[in-house]
Amino acid sequence: MKDWRARLGPTWAVAQVPVYSIVLAFAIAAVVIIVSSAFTRTGFDPLLPFAAYARLLAGSFGSGNAIANTLVAAAPLMFGGLAVGLGLKAGLFNIGVAGQFLVGAFAAAATGASLATAPTIVAMPLAMLAGAAGGAVYGFIPGYLKARTGAHEVVTTIMLNSAAGLLLTWAVNDLVRAPGFSFPRTADIGQSALPFVGRNLHLGIVFAVAAIFLTRWLLDRTTLGFEIRTVGANPSAARYAGMRPVFITALTMTISGLLAGLAGAIQILGVTGFYAPGITATVGFDSIAVALLGRSDPIGILFAAILFGAFRAGAPLMQIETSVPIEVIDIIQALVILFLAADLIVRRVFRVRAPKVEITEMATVTGSWGGTPPTGAAR
């Protein structure tokens, strides 16, 4: 017993603040649900949160199908969480996952549709590759601008998110609209679809878990990973050590975009089967929460993605059966981030003497706010 505790000790030391944050977030969201129930037709109901959370749990882990749904929702979040997390390691805050997701989704859908009759073994990898390339290009743009001019990625990626939505609407309308449908969408992907591995679980989850371990290997075992982490921790030191912060910054955003593009690709090739303008992607903001909750660590991101995947999978059942709006998930997410950012609250409430949560990478992100290029040098 003692041995078991000793082995879990270090993990728990890292994980306890995130776990307590989740508990506290659910508790406060419960208060919100109770108070707001007074304004509905059903009237004040102090037990409503229990009913809602029970439905949430049933919808996400209550049956084989529910678990499959959770994993299907978790797969793009793993890619998205890795995209944000990898950026954070290099001191970059990629809020552009939403846009890179859309570009990747569109590229995969268009390529998949054009290869619809080719054998899956050829068509599916090519469509995935197209999604990855689309996301990578769309991540490269803000990365290059940040590296060269110091334009902060937080603002440029948000602008590119809005632009992606509009330009892809145009692309579907004018370039690749499939005939015979009442609304603009791309043609069916046919043979390019990801094969199922059981129930409605598609191969994307396997790719996502592989990406988790690949990213972990990249960060911990390769020179590039070391450079990424060094640039994130201290750009000046990295430059004096002979690394190339400009190159690393652009490259990291490109890889980050690539991962986000893959999230879009598996969503199209595994779930929706086509791209239509206005497909709502909650993946963008969810990925930020996943990365922050997972402390930018690939294994942490794995668990955080499954948790938020469960929220997304279970929420519709909760809304249908207890009429608690689906948006309560966003509230819980915001609260989790709040408690991670202000871990002081968590430590007071639970009286833990946990080490202070230092999201050290963020110091570089915030520090570069005014637009100092990562080289730190005057140009």
Partner 1 sequence: MGRDAANGRGALMDLLAIPRLLLEFVLYLFEVMPDLLPIILALATPIALGALCGVLNERSGVVNIGIEGIMLMAAFFGYLTGFALNESLGSFPAILMGLAVAVATGALLGLLHAWLSVSVRADQIIAGTMMNIAALGVTGYLNRLIITPSGRGGAGVVPPFHLPDQLAELPLVGPILSMFLNQGPIAMSVIVLVLVSQFVLFRTRWGLRTRAVGEHPKAADTVGINVFRQRYMNVIIGCAIAGLAGAYLTLESTGAFQNGMTNGRGFIALAAVIFGRWTPIGSFLGALLFGTATAFGFIVVVHPAEGELGTLMKSIPTYWYAALPYLMTVVILAGVVGRSTPPAADGIPYAKEGRA
Residues forming the site for partner 1 (CB under 8 A):
32, 36, 39-41, 93, 95, 141-142, 145, 148-152, 154-156, 158-163, 166-167, 169-170, 173-174, 285, 288-289, 292, 325-335, 337-338, 340-342, 344, 359, 362-363, 365-367, 369-371, 373, 379
CB of 181 to partner 1, least distance (A): 19
* Closest-CA residue to 134 (of 165, 103, 175, 159): 103
Instruction: Give the Cα separation of 376 and 239 in Å (integer).
Output: 9
CB of 332 to partner 1, least distance (A): 8
CB of 166 to partner 1, least distance (A): 4
In the DSSP assignment, the letter for residue 200 is T
User: Which residue number, 16 or 372, has a Cβ lying nearer to partner 1?
Assistant: 372
User: Which residue number, 36 or 120, has a Cβ lying nearer to partner 1?
Assistant: 36
CB of 174 to partner 1, least distance (A): 6
CB of 287 to partner 1, least distance (A): 11
CB of 33 to partner 1, least distance (A): 9
Phi, psi torsion values for 202, nearest 5 degrees: -100, 170
User: Which residue number, 220 or 327, has a Cβ lying nearer to partner 1?
Assistant: 327
* Closest-CA residue to 235 (of 369, 84, 376): 376
Asked if residues 82 and 301 have their Cβ atoms less than 8 Å apart, the reply is yes
User: Which residue number, 82 or 328, has a Cβ lying nearer to partner 1?
Assistant: 328
CB of 351 to partner 1, least distance (A): 18
User: Which residue number, 224 or 334, has a Cβ lying nearer to partner 1?
Assistant: 334
User: Which residue number, 204 or 373, has a Cβ lying nearer to partner 1?
Assistant: 373
User: Which residue number, 204 or 284, has a Cβ lying nearer to partner 1?
Assistant: 284
Instruction: Give the Cα separation of 97 and 256 in Å (integer).
Output: 8
Collapsed DSSP state (helix, strand, coil) of residue 64: helix
CB of 345 to partner 1, least distance (A): 8
Collapsed DSSP state (helix, strand, coil) of residue 197: strand
CA 299 centroid distance within chain: 14
Binning the chain into helix, strand and coil, the percentages to the nearest 5 are 75, 0, 25
| Residue found by looking up tokens 């890179």 in the block | 100
* Longest CA–CA separation in the chain, Å: 66
CB of 41 to partner 1, least distance (A): 7
Residues 226-232: contacts with CB under 8 Å, at least 24 apart: 228/86, 228/89, 228/90, 228/252, 229/89, 229/90, 231/90, 231/91, 231/374, 232/88, 232/89, 232/90, 232/91, 232/92, 232/361, 232/364
User: Which residue number, 63 or 366, has a Cβ lying nearer to partner 1?
Assistant: 366
- Burial per residue of 149-182, b for 16 or more beta-carbon CB atoms within 10 angstroms, e otherwise: eebbbbebbbebbeebbeebeebbeeebebeeee
User: Which residue number, 162 or 236, has a Cβ lying nearer to partner 1?
Assistant: 162
